Amino acid sequence: MVWLRSLLFQIYFYVSVCVSALTIVLLAPFPYRTRFAVARAWGRSMLFMGKRLCGLDYAIEGLENIPSEPSVILIKHTTVFETYAQLAIFPPQTWVLKRELLWIPLFGWGLAAMRPIAINRGAGHTAVSQVIEQGKERLREGVWLTVFPEGTRMPLGETRRYGVSGAALAKEAQCVIVPVAHNAGDFWPRRGLKKSPGLIRFCIGPPIAPESRPPKETNLLVQQWIESRMSEISSGYSGVKSPANPEPREQ
């Protein structure tokens, strides 16, 4: 029954994301908040269907830590859950993502209409400069920016050096960083169909101001908070480990 429910949820995911993407494309001439309202509604529907079909209940901790001004969000990336949960939780936002996602028919078109910062992950410092330049523009417009600092979904219990672009943007824009940890990976494997029932804790940490420190030092503070919180809330995080050959991260 768990497998059947997981399959039904996956079907809903594919169908709903296509419908939402098409709607967002059609709303491209309208203000950004109109398009984001569609994305938020889709995110809420995913939370609802995940709970009803797969028993993926959730608790949001630290709502009081969300600032009133546009900020940079750094989220641990292990599953698809956090990509739609953030839509329902945070103010209007966009994302730093790999440019290849924009090449996917329909989904990529809708994603492009949400004005993400699409980077070439092999571009190194050029990608960081792109995030800073375009990120400052988005923040000035009142749009928050989400960064998955490891650049990809990580296996449960693993981490890699966080990309510096989020911390560099926060310093240049003089805004805070909001760190987020969650244990969705305990119930939803990085690869695989099965979603096991359980309570996902989505933990929003206290904002971290860049102040005058170098971005790499701010980045380390963010990583320490996220990984420490992960070890507290996740049963699969008995000990954080890095991949055998971690790739250098500039994003």
- pLDDT tens for residues 57-95? 999 999 999 999 999 999 999 999 999 999 999 999 999
Candidates 246, 245, 232; CA nearest to 61 is 232
Q: Is residue 159 part of a domain?
A: yes
CATH at residue 114: 3.40.1130
- 113 falls within a domain: yes
Phi, psi (deg, nearest 5) at residue 50: -65, -40
Closest CA to 35 of 106, 105, 110: 110
pLDDT reported for residue 239: 53
Instruction: Name the pLDDT band for 9 (thresholds 50, 70, 90).
Output: very high
Is residue 242 a part of any domain in this protein? Answer: no
* Lookup result for tokens 């030092």: 217
* 107 inside domain: yes
Q: What is the pLDDT of residues 150-202, one digit of tens each?
A: 988 888 888 888 999 999 999 999 999 999 999 999 999 888 889 999 999 99
Whether residue 57 lies inside any domain: the answer is yes
pLDDT for 159: 87
Angle between helices 81-89 and 32-54 (to 10 degrees): 120
Q: Is residue 244 part of a domain?
A: no
Q: Is 183 helix (H, G, I), strand (E, B) or coil?
A: coil
**Residues ≥6 apart with Cβ < 8 Å to 115:** 32, 94, 138, 143
Residue 196 lies in a domain: yes
192 Ramachandran zone, left/alpha/beta (phi>0; psi -120 to 50): left
102 pLDDT band, cuts 50/70/90, is very high
Domain that holds residue 14: 2-233
Q: What is the pLDDT of residue 122?
A: 75
pLDDT at 114: 96
Q: How many domains does the chain have?
A: 1
Nearest to residue 51, comparing CAs of 104, 7, 5? 5
- Percent of residues, the chain, with pLDDT higher than 90: 81
- Residue 247: the pLDDT is 42
